[in-house]
Structure 1
Amino acid sequence: MNHKKATFGAGCFWGVEAIFQELDGVVATSVGYMGGNTEDPTYQDVCYSETNHAEVCEIVYDPNVISYTDLLSVFFSLHDPTTLNRQGPDVGTQYRSAIFYNDDDQKAQALDALKQIEDGKFFTRPVVTEVTKAATFYKAEDYHQSYYQNKGITPHCGIGSVNVKLKEME
């Protein structure tokens, strides 16, 4: 199989993962941490110390079913890419808007998507999404994996309208 990976930070990883899990062509997801300056961070480390890691969702997808451009469209639609280091009530660098690219093609597509959004003036404020080369993915603790599937929908996630977004996808 010719599967590829995509990694996005868009706020609380619980909601981000729940939405990507529903897409045709997404083979697997994991949540974790990327982009920081410490090895093997824990959730507590990321939340309460200066690790500079983002909460991310790593997506394994089949490019014959869903394109990276389609994943980018979902990424930009599920969060506010104009808020620096926050999504809804969740505040901190771990909640930043980030695209971690795995190769030059993903980088080019991400930069093109950003340019289209900026040129289209879809937002009144500047887009603050960072586009960075993927680094080591540190898988989050087991209780964070497939959180919504395992725990049900809770109000704790800053994505806020996860229920609505999932219903729209049905």
Structure 2
Amino acid sequence: MSAHIVDHEHIHALIGAGLTQPAVTLRWQTEAPEDFANGAHRSIYPYAGGRYRELRPDTASIVGQMLVAANRASVNALYPQDGNPLPQPYEYDPTAGRRHFEPVEILLAIAGFEHQACEIDNWEMSEAARFCAALRKHIVSLLPGYDLARTWAIGPETPTLRDIRAAASTA
């Protein structure tokens, strides 16, 4: 395996993708202490005996910093001899390098980040992994055709997406 520190632009793209639809708020479980936000913006809420964090414009920098720290911890775990410095402070800037990435590009960016951040013990239970899972679920729902598909439960009469599109084009 290998790992490297991802550019802040990579983090911007992930955070920006999670903020694309104002009506949708990403949430995921966290074990982080409630004071992780340093009092700036409340980002952690109680949930079913645990806690969850939300990605909102006012918490984007906090979430981004968590991702930067997870990436740094992974690189440090893989290359402890390198004496890697502390992560650079992260500040989300919604105007910095805001290019539009297609959902499939964001899915690849999530996979790329996971590869760079997975070298810590218990990665699957980490907050960064949970964020990636929540973002992936959200991005999959944005794929073309997702809103038209009728395959939640497939039976003999379930139309395919091709059938649905063909019927719409002849109507």
Higher relative contact order (CA 8 A, sep 6+): 1
TM norm. shorter chain > 0.5: no
Higher share in strand: 1
Asked which structure has the greater CA Rg, the reply is 2
Higher share in helix: 2
TM-score (norm 1): 0.29
